[in-house]
Amino acid sequence: MLKIRPLPMRLLRYHTGHWYWIDQDDVDTIELISFVMLLLNVADTTNSTQLPIITIASS
């Protein structure tokens, strides 16, 4: 069953036929989720691929 999409929110996700969101005015929840995302990024130990080095001749 498809529910009607709510107004624009800070975080919006459609899952299993329902919309879940965090209102833009809910500062406490937004700060908590931002903090958790920061911790997850710091704890990420996967190897990131390095971009290739490009050498440009100047003369």
Report the 3 state secondary structure along the chain: CCCCCCCCCCEEEEECCEEEEECCCCHHHHHHHHHHHHHHHHHCCCCCCCCCCCCCCCC
For residue 43, being part of any structural domain is answered with no
Q: Which residue has the tokens 């899952």?
A: 15
Q: What is the pLDDT of residue 35?
A: 92
Alpha helices in 1-59 (DSSP H): 27-43
Q: How far apart are CA 42 and CA 10, in angstroms?
A: 23
| Bigger pLDDT: 47 vs 54 | 54
pLDDT tens, residue by residue, 23-35: 888 889 889 988 9
Domain extent for 7: 1-32
For the chain, what is the domain count? 1
Residue 51 lies in a domain: no
The tens digit of pLDDT for each residue in 1-50 reads 446 665 667 777 788 888 788 888 888 988 998 899 898 888 877 766 77
In a domain, 53, yes or no: no
pTM beyond 0.85: the answer is no
- Please check whether residue 20 lies inside any domain of the structure: yes
Residue 12 lies in a domain: yes
